[in-house]
Amino acid sequence: MTSLSQAACLFLTAALILIFRRAKQHSLESEEAIRLPPGPKPIPILGNVHQLPQEYQQRTFGEWGRTYGDVVYAHLFRTPAIVLNSLRAARDLMDKRSCNYSGRPRLTLLVELMGWDSVITHMPYDSRWRKHRKWIQEALQCKDALLSYRPLHRRETYIFLSSILDKPDMLLSHIRRYAAAQVLDFAYNHKVTSLDDKLVQLAERATTETVLAGSPGSMLVDFFPILRHLPDWLPGAGFKKRAMGVREHVRRMLDTPYEMVKSSIVAGTAATSFTASRIEEASRAGLLTEEEEVDIKGAAGVLYAAGTDTTTAVLSTFFLAMVLHQDAYKKAQQEIDSVIGQDRLPDFNDRASLPYLDSLVKEVLRWNCPVPLSIPHTAAVDDEYRDYHIPAGVMVIPNLWAMTQDTTLYCDPEHFRPERFLQDIPGREVPIDPKEICFGFGRRKCPGLQFADASIWFLVANAVATLDIVKAHDASGREITPAASFISGFVSHPKPYECHIRARSEKTAALISEMLMVYTT
């Protein structure tokens, strides 16, 4: 390190320490005068960050909840934060007072450096956010629109079933293709035949690089935005170079499919899609400005970025759960056999007649909440809750994992028990549907909930009807029992596992081939 670099580092360190000390002193003086929710004791500069592990932070937040209550106050460096560990608190604040709790904290790394500024999940709560929300709601929540997607769900499910019988050792790849194919068809009318597809590769590169570049060290810039102005040559500023690399991948992910659709409109060959509809509507109104194009790209791109990874996590969790809980899988097969028989495959109109299967899907969501910690919200103005003061600007973190593991909501939450959701005893109170938790709260609730729910239910129903999912065997013929363990991260995927998948019978295999031909020719 040169003497100039050393001097710059020393100066920056000294300046930051002075700023932190003054900010800490002011914060402590302010907090003494008001009643904040309880929480772990912070230390200067770090706050409570030193008490958080780099992995599975939702578990530590949950432990804080058991110690201090379901509403916990903490400091992440100099940023005040409130962790919500209960469904009641989340509903009270983010549902009932959604006007105050729909903001986002400043996401310097993702938005300002990596370029994820045009996607609704990261936007502040403003007119631009409302425009994107309106677009997505019209496309994904209208009853007629949802019905129009059913042929898409059917086609991709039958392709999945045929693929898994052809190559049963590639389960995760088939799941990822299934999730990607539906979103890319809906967003751009782009048909995906394999994971080698160009648009899939672009999207996966952008999302993967985002995760890799968002290490805890890099994310310091979210708590100290001044760090984004560090010279690239300064030691410790490597995160900026990595972020700029991600920015290029994000740009290509958003631009490439948009230009593809725009070109097809000019050529007169465009089919119906979310992007085509938005372009044509803006063009007719004379509003297809550069700014509007950025918004359309972002609205379409977030559908892939937000929907594909979570759907993959839920479906891979389903297969893992069925390997480990054969009794639940057999019950679901018996229900389908008794209600539908073996001469056809399940369809959407059968859902109300399959309560155990519906309960099984709910339990998969609850057993491994796909997004353990929701993207933080912020409070727009000061608020009071349970005699506690909630300061304006505080970061609000919903601990979705803690809610799905709450013993006051779910008896024996560590156990996989679909029966908990059955109304089999008159007068018995059925637990909260995990969809009321796992898809978020208030005005930030996932607008694609119904699309995702239909996609997941239909594949699960047809997998149960047509496949046997059992434990794999090692070279000595012994059964391999996978661990019920999950990767730490924003999305909770099962750790790699093995299983054996085969058709239940020659008849079910023939049914799959028959339906595949109907929906792909």
Annotated binding site for heme: 446
User: Annotated binding site, which residues?
Assistant: 446
Q: φ, ψ for residue 414 (rounded to 5)?
A: -75, -15
Amino acid at 402: A
Longest dimension (CA), the chain: 79
**Residue 222 near residue 106 (C-beta atoms within 8 A):** yes
Please name the residue that has the structure tokens 């791109």. 301
326-334 contacts, C-beta under 8 A, 24 or more apart: 326/470, 328/360, 328/363, 328/416, 328/418, 329/464, 329/469, 331/356, 331/418, 332/356, 332/357, 332/360, 332/418, 332/464, 333/464, 333/465, 333/504
H helix or E strand, kind and range, residue 301: helix 290-324
Reduced to 3 states (helix: H, G, I; strand: E, B; else coil), residue 502 is strand
103: CB partners within 8 A, 6+ apart: 124, 125, 377, 378, 379, 380
CA 364 – CA 362 distance, rounded (Å): 5
| Of 103, 109, 53, 43, nearest in space to 75 by CA | 43
CA 298 – CA 292 distance, rounded (Å): 10
Q: In Å, how far are 210, 212, 241, 303, 373 from 123, measured between CA atoms?
A: 17, 22, 23, 14, 18
